[in-house]
Structure 1
Amino acid sequence: MAATELDPVLKAVDAGLDGALARLFDFLRIPSISTDPAHASACRSAADWVAGELEALGFTAVVHPTAGHPVVVARTDTGASRRVLFYGHYDVQPVDPLNLWETPPFEPRLGTTPDGRRTIVGRGACDDKGQVLTFLEALRAFRSTRGALPVDVTVLLEGEEECGSPNLPGFLAAHAGELSADLALVCDTGMWDQRTPSITSSLRGILHTELTIEGADRDLHSGLFGGAARNPIHVLATILADAHDADGRVTLPGFYDDVREPPAEVRARWQALGLTAEAFLKPVGLSVSAGESDRLVIEQIQSRPTFEVNGMFGGYTGAGTKTIIPARATAKISFRLVADQDPAKLRAGFETFVAARVPADCRAVFHWGEGARAFLVPPESPDLGHAAGALEAEWGVAPVTIGSGGSIPVVGQFKDRLGVDTLLIGFALDDDRVHSPNEKYDLTSFHKGTRSWVRILDALSHA
């Protein structure tokens, strides 16, 4: 659709901003905290609320019960040439500590940042109710001006994202036909900065384990046995220290075998962003990167795999002194994986690595998590290009196409169970205080985010 043909839809977004805010405030007033059983009825109310909004937009909406909180699925079926699947969540994080909120978390309000930006303040304002509403309000603008959407849309909203989505994989498997689409869209991400949009086109996968080194059959007196008995803490510390070399590379055999290098032009764009270790680490009190010394910081945090020790414990950790050689020592370990790495292969590789370093009189015990593969949208994807052009038309600057160092399992599940790629496009900012007291969402993010979805949906209809 030509820009002039989109103008009425965009003008409808502008004219309807006050109404959109009123609807968002209604949504934010529902205390849909999924982790707290006391709020189960509020989670159901949030599901019913959003289903009602979608029905008002001409969708067929169903609130599906699960073993936990409901899943909302809504569809249009007009025979359009393409269908997109939009995913978000209506549940929110707990509000603790309550005393740090400037105003009650479920009484949303407009605020102003010290630099003059207008904001929407309340639990869920950014994560994820405000982001969800940007999409729904874009649909509303199309309906009010054109009477139809440029593509068919399926909306999938869950109520357990903040507690690990335990029932979503089974739901996707059971409803795969109903959820089939050409492309998935996820809004639970952010901007590069206040003026620059971004598209997250890759996510690192995850694999985690708990490794315990066992020695003697009981804790030993260090005066009687010290110098002769194996100390599992020493053994575990040596294994973990061996996992990286002096240049920050992981030393596990075959660890990098399947790692895909970014195209030269993509790496050049990342380099042009100018992200330095000092700038990235300074806000957390650090300054020097500990990652692979021959890699850009942005590569280290988004496109390279990692081995991290999340916790380590063993022996006596109480007050004072207890002179023992502990019987066991444990480390909690996570791997962040990138495209083409196989969790099963890395699991086997780590077990081999550890076995080669466990001395006599000790044994290694592993407790593995399930693991999830990484996700990557190819840089040459036409949908990626169409979405990037739409964002540039709205924001006046080309979006940054980046990877996320974190993991969003639902994206991998969309690929594995539904066979669709996902574009992650959201409008959160680094200072939105997500999961913290006084969570906020910039009014500009809400307004221009809605306008962005108008442009993106139109662009995808021509793909």
Structure 2
Amino acid sequence: MSTLEPVLSHLDANLDKSLERLFELLKIKSISTDPAYKADCRKAAEWLVEDLKSIGFDASVRDTPGHPMVVAHHDGAEQSAPHVLFYGHYDVQPVDPLNLWENDPFAPAIKDMGEGRKIITGRGSSDDKGQLMTFVEACRAYKAVHGNLPCRITILFEGEEESGSPSLKPFLETHADELKADFALVCDTSMWDRETPAITVGLRGMVAEEITVKAANRDLHSGFFGGAAANPIRILSRILADLHDETGRVTLPGFYDGVEETPTQILQTWEGLGRTAENFLGKIGLSIPSGEKGRSVLELTWARPTAEVNGITGGYTGEGFKTVIAAEASAKVSFRLVHKQDPAKVRAAFRDFVNARVPADCTVEFHAHGGSPAIQLPYDLPIITKAKDALSDEWSKQTVLIAGGGSIPIVGDFQTMLGMASLLVGFALEDDRIHSPNEKYELQSFHKGQRSWARILAALAKK
């Protein structure tokens, strides 16, 4: 702890300066989805490169067919310490609708919320500029105090995360040898609540399919043909209804292959977090969980697979009424995957399931919309244990091991393309209004986030 304490003190003493740097970055309108801001995206990348160079990183802007990457390297003080790859993104979402913002989204400021609570306002303050700068500031403090970093560090900042990361996979393939490390650190996640740190150890994967059932060669008059001609809407409805049984389980053969039960100790921890069906679903006007019976809402959303119908079209849906039997009907269906489920096997099982229910004189077409496996780290992985203890020391509350209902594609790419597990630690809150007007980041998250990364780096460097 003797090497860590002066680093923490340095972070405390230089918080105002770190805010000045963050504000400079937040003022850059790095909106990746809009070509009008292409120059701003490059400006943000160049700003980060210069800032990393100022603390001794070998940093450079790397061009891609889209917005540039930022890659930086720095040796560590201890050769036995791990090599880590830190990932974040400098691009931000569009600000529309602008009229709903209380202040200029690219004029960051500190807002006093009363009772000692302050927030940083502005687009990108939480997602992801404020988050990535917590790590940079931890590195800056180590260099200022000790002249070196505790671990060998590679940094990768991308500029297309908010627009689907089209350049990322090709970049990883081309630069795999340069970017591969012992494991990755990813900051694009959140805390459990304002005072409770969290590490995300699981992320659900996904398979998405669009299916179109076709029957007659044209729309039919339901009076002339009703009762004799196949109705693709009815066929499709039956298929979709058959996807679940009366207990909420998905009925695809082999669907639960690779699904593991969550350890009892972890489930007990989740139960202690206080999230119930009433307080979770009540916010959206519901109260009864619709998934597998006997599972808590956290288990259902974090550790169990799902099948959901995301959209249905077919027949006449305009004003008034038209007595027609449609020639075709379509649906979009997605499956959230967990643990070791195989996306290819789930897709194949779904197609077999559908084909078996389509009459011989009808046809079905499938259109894949991507698929990715789930990410599940062992709960007792050494890097998780070290980070968990470090976070608990900083926040004075036990760190919660959580999972994510959605996906972070980069984590899967690190695993499949670079063979690296990822430690997901972030300090965002669910009320940060990410992707919405009036985005904010808690000043406490920014300050203690810096201190948290300093503690984690120190813990990872220890044998």
TM over 0.5: yes
For 1:424 and 1:383, locate their aligned partners in 2 and report how far apart those are by CA, in whole Å: 11
Once the two structures are TM-superposed, the CA of residue 117 in structure 1 deviates from its matched residue by: 2.2
Q: Corresponding residue for 1:29?
A: 27
Q: Which residue of 2 aligns with 1:63?
A: 61
| One-letter identity of the residue aligned with 2:277 | A
**Does residue 51 of structure 1 match 2:55?**
no
Verify: 1:170 aligned to 2:170, yes or no: yes
- Provide the residue aligned with 1:397 in structure 2: 397
Q: Which moves more between the two structures, 418-427 or 70-79?
A: 70-79
Whether 1:76 aligns to 2:79 is no
Please report how far the alpha carbon of residue 115 of structure 1 lies from its aligned counterpart in structure 2 after TM superposition. 6.4
Structure-2 change in CA distance of 1:114 and 1:77 (3 Å): closer
Map 1:290-305 onto structure 2 (within 5 A): 290-305=290-305
Native 8 Å contact 1:215 1:328 kept in 2: yes
Q: How far apart are the structure 2 equivalents of 1:64 and 1:459?
A: 31
Distance 1:414 1:291 in 2: 31
Q: Which residue of 1 aligns with 2:374?
A: 374
Shift of 1:339: 1.3
Quote the offset at 1:272 in angstroms. Answer: 2.4
- Listed one character per residue, the Cα deviations across residues 359-383 of structure 1 (whole Å, up to 9, x for unaligned) are 2332111101231111111112100
1:141 equivalent in structure 2 = 141
SS of equivalent to 1:5 = coil
User: Is the 1:28–1:122 Cα contact (8 Å) retained in structure 2?
Assistant: yes
Q: Is the CA contact (8 Å cut-off) linking 1:85 and 1:181 kept in structure 2? A: yes
Count residues in correspondence: 461
Q: Is the 8 A contact 1:59 1:75 kept in 2?
A: yes
Q: Distance in 2 between matches of 1:140 and 1:120?
A: 21
Cα drift, residue 116 of structure 1: 5.6
Q: Distance in 2 between matches of 1:84 and 1:195?
A: 27
Residue 261 (structure 1) aligns with: 261
- The residue identity in structure 2 corresponding to 1:167 is S
Cα deviation, 1:254-301, whole Å, max 9, x if unaligned, reads 111210112222222222223211111122222111111121211100
| Residues in 2 aligned to 1:435 and 1:117: alpha-carbon distance in whole angstroms | 22
Q: Give the match for residue 410 of structure 1.
A: 410
State the partner residue of 2:212: 212
Identity %: 57
Deviates more, 1:31-40 or 1:214-223: 214-223
Q: Deviation digits for residues 141-170 of structure 1, max 9, x if unmatched?
A: 101111111001100000000011111011
TM-score (norm 1): 0.97
Q: Tell me: CA distance 1:266–1:92, structure 2 relative to 1, closer, same or farther (3 Å).
A: same
CA distances 1:205-229 after superposition (whole Å, capped 9, x unpaired):
1110101111111111222222221
- Once residues 117 and 242 of structure 1 are traced to their aligned partners in structure 2, the CA distance between those partners, rounded to angstroms, is 51
CA distance, structure 1, for counterparts of residue 218 and residue 104 of structure 2: 52
Give structure 2 stretches of 5+ with no counterpart: none
Alpha carbons 2:75, 2:149 under 8 Å: kept: no
Deviations 1:329-354 (A, max 9, x none): 11111111111100111111111111
Counterpart of 2:459 in 1: which secondary structure? helix
Q: Cα 1:115–1:434, aligned 2, differ >3 Å: closer, same or farther?
A: farther
Which residue of the partner structure matches residue 309 of structure 1? 309
Unaligned runs of 5+ in 1: none
Q: What residue is the counterpart of 2:106 in the other structure?
A: 106
Q: Provide the C-alpha distance between the structure 2 equivalents of 1:88 and 1:290, rounded to a whole number of angstroms.
A: 35
1:18 counterpart SS class: helix
Relative to structure 1, is the Cα distance of residues 274 and 120 closer, same or farther in structure 2, using a 3 angstrom cutoff? same
Distance 1:43 1:300, change over 3 A: same
Question: What is residue 350 of structure 2 aligned with on the other side?
Answer: 350
Shift of 1:402: 0.8
Aligned residues of 2:375 and 2:412 also touching (Cα < 8 A): yes
What CA distance in whole angstroms lies between the structure 2 residues aligned with 1:285 and 1:16? 45
1:300-323 C-alpha deviation (Å, 9 max, x unpaired): 001111111111111122222222
Is the 8 Å Cα contact of residues 80 and 150 (structure 1) preserved in structure 2? Answer: no
What is the one-letter code of the residue matched to 1:45?
Answer: K
Cα deviation for residue 67 of structure 1 reads: 0.8
Secondary structure class of the residue paired with 1:388: helix
CA contact under 8 A between 2:42 and 2:68: conserved in structure 1? yes
CA distance in 1, matches of 2:445, 2:13: 16
| CA RMSD in angstroms, aligned pairs only | 1.2
Map residues 233-244 of structure 1 onto 2, 5 A cutoff.
Answer: 233-244=233-244
Separation in 1, partners of 2:115, 2:349: 51
Q: Which moved more, 1:77-86 or 1:428-437?
A: 77-86
Query: Which 10-residue stretch deviates more, 180-189 or 254-263?
Result: 254-263
**Which of 5, 8, 11 in structure 2 is aligned with 1:7?**
5
Q: Label 1:268 to 1:96 Cα distance change in 2 as closer, same or farther (>3 A).
A: same
Aligned-partner SS, 1:178: helix
